[in-house]
């Protein structure tokens, strides 16, 4: 794969994985419109590894405290996390639904659902859901108040993320807002909850590569550049987005999704994607 393609798609992945605008739709449509062949398995692994490293690096102090508290160790000094000793197990519980959905619908998500009509529909529909959530939430709760019901509701919402065009962060942040989290809290819980799912996706991709060709073949410049660029871009996006949500709303992302979804429909009608 040419380095220019690697860099472009790695930047697209890093930008769109954590913003509520759907990384799958942007990667697919970027390759389609630019006439690039679908990403190879080793490049898919590099993108997953990059976004996993980005979220792990950014939230490493949080994860150390969350895991420590989950096993009754007093680690870390974040007051919000100290008020929720069960957060590790709530995150584990919330990760179960998307795991089940992934096992049940992987073939559909990677096959017939990966088309511009499905993506355009989900971009618009979830954009409307985000608009309703952004306007209707009371925005008073932080991570210290996350409970069993929150974990179930947000976890169930994450199941929709396997449908291309949905956006994992978009649907889970919306669910958090419906549970009256602050915008920043909804995003932080969304990113923490996404970590096991992203890790599972990376693990599955590594396993598939091991079955096909072994893992040594992926240690090449293309792989390293893809991981590095998507990690750096993803970390920067998480940093900016959480800072933005302390005062900003989801409205710009709602407008973007709806307009982008309409454009996707128009392009699908004008220029049918190659089979």
Least trusted range by pLDDT, from 25-29, 130-134, 173-177: 25-29
pLDDT at 125: 97
The per-residue pLDDT of the chain, averaged, comes to 89
From 232, 107, 221, select the one nearest 162 (Cα to Cα).
107
Interacting residues of 266 by C-beta distance below 8 A, sequence separation 6+: none
Reference 16, options 44, 41, 47; nearest CA is: 47
User: What confidence tier does 111 reach under pLDDT thresholds 50, 70, 90?
Assistant: confident
Q: Which residues contact 169 (CB under 8 A, 6 or more apart)?
A: 17, 18, 19, 20, 187, 190, 191, 194
Is the distance from CB of 135 to CB of 34 less than 8 angstroms?
no
CB–CB of 38/110 below 8 Å? no
Share in percent of the chain as helix, strand, coil (round to 5):
75, 0, 20
Of 66-75, 87-96, 131-140, which range is least confident? Answer: 131-140
Q: Which residue has the higher pLDDT, 201 or 124?
A: 124
User: How large is the average pLDDT for residues 73-93?
Assistant: 91
Tokens in use for 104?
A: 């049940």
pLDDT at 32: 79
- Taking alpha carbons only, the member of 154, 155, 149, 143 closest to residue 182 is 143
Task: For residue 156, give the nearest of 138, 179, 137 by alpha carbon.
Answer: 179
Please give the Cα distance from 192 to 91 (Å, whole number): 8
Rounded Cα–Cα distance for residues 170 and 6 (Å): 25
DSSP code, position 36? P
What's the number of CA atoms in the CB half-sphere (13 Å) around residue 194?
A: 29
Of 54, 81, 91, nearest in space to 240 by CA? 54
* pLDDT at position 41 over 70: no
Rg (CA), the chain: 18
Global pTM? Answer: 0.92
Contact present, 18 and 57 (Cβ < 8 Å): no
Report residue 258 as tokens: 């709806």
The pLDDT of residue 40: 61
Question: How far does the chain reach from its first CA to its final CA, in angstroms?
Answer: 20
**pLDDT tens per residue across span 121-155:** 999 999 999 999 999 767 789 999 999 999 999 99
């Amino acid at each position: 794969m040419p380095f220019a393609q690697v860099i472009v798609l790695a930047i697209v992945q890093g930008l769109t994985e954590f913003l509520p605008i759907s990384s799958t739709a942007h990667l697919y449509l970027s390759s389609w419109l630019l006439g690039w062949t679908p990403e190879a398995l080793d490049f898919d692994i590099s993108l997953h590894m990059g976004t996993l490293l980005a979220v792990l690096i950014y939230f490493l102090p949080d994860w150390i405290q969350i895991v420590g508290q989950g096993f009754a160790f007093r680690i870390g000094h974040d007051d919000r996390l100290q008020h929720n000793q069960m957060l590790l197990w709530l995150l584990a519980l919330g990760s179960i639904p998307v795991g089940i959905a992934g096992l049940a619908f992987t073939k559909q998500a990677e096959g017939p659902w990966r088309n511009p009509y499905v993506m355009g529909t989900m971009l618009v529909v979830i954009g409307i859901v985000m608009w309703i959530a952004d306007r209707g939430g009371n925005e008073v709760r932080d991570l210290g108040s996350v409970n069993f019901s929150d974990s179930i509701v947000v976890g169930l919402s994450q199941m929709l993320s396997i449908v291309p065009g949905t956006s994992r962060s978009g649907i889970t942040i919306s669910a958090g807002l419906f549970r009256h989290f602050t915008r920043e809290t909804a995003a932080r819980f969304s990113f923490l909850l996404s970590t096991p799912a992203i890790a599972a996706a990376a693990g599955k991709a590594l396993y598939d590569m091991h079955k096909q060709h072994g893992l040594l073949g992926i240690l090449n410049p293309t792989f390293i550049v893809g991981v590095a660029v998507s990690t750096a871009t993803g970390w920067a996006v998480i940093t900016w987005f959480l800072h933005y949500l302390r005062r900003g709303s989801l409205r710009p992302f709602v407008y973007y999704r709806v307009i982008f979804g309409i454009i996707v429909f128009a392009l699908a009608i004008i220029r049918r994607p190659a089979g």
